Amino acid sequence: MALTMAPVAALPNLSLPNGPAYCVIGSTDPITLAQLETLRARDPDLAYIAAPNGQAPDQLPPPTRLTVLHAVPGQITESPAAVAEALGKSLARLAPGPGSLLILSGGATAQVILRQLGISVLHLLGEAEPGLPLSLGGGLTVITKSGGFGDGETLARVTASYRSIGSPAQHHVG
């Protein structure tokens, strides 16, 4: 009955930005690690940076349309907060500019990186996928994902149409 009483508004189509994408993985959750493995298998052209305890190597790979910065265990165990801080500093060296896409996986990672980028407010646009907020902040498009969220294909799906140059991803607002 509510549908007959209220007009139904069309959901807006939201496109991901055309600039480069940075997928920052701070989570150690097995779900995220499986998602990352699937993403790497599907996109051999992405730039993968293993960052022990969040610290990227001195020599960074050349930029590509999709760069993955992944916190991996180091020689000594650091606190999650220290790893997130180092990961944020590593991301800063990659210098994501306005129009870039950031996919942040891990709540502590997202919180620290957004703070380091000076982003205190995200403006929600909709969802990249059900349960994955798509937001704007500081000139960047941001997708945040909890470490244990999604299935093995989540990261591959979120980046699939984005990685197809000239084929903007369409998303729904939920």
Residue 26 contacts residue 71 (beta carbons within 8 Å): yes
Cα separation, 66 vs 45, whole angstroms: 8
Could you say which architecture CATH assigns to the domain 16-163? 3-Layer(aba) Sandwich (3.40)
- Cα angle 119, 121, 123 (rounded to 5 degrees) comes to 120
Residues 86-106 have a mean pLDDT of: 92
Answer with the residue of higher pLDDT: 12 or 52.
52
Residue 153 contacts residue 108 (beta carbons within 8 Å): no
> Which one-letter amino acid corresponds to residue 123?
H
Does the pLDDT of residue 146 top 70, yes or no?
A: yes
Looking at residue 20, its pLDDT comes to 86
Sign (positive or negative) of CA dihedral 73, 75, 77, 80 = negative
Does the pLDDT of residue 168 top 70, yes or no?
A: no
Answer with the residue of higher pLDDT: 11 or 49.
49
Looking at residue 17, its pLDDT comes to 64
Does the pLDDT of residue 148 top 60, yes or no?
A: yes
Does the pLDDT of residue 84 top 60, yes or no?
A: yes
Helices 80-94 and 107-116 cross at an angle (nearest 10°) of: 50
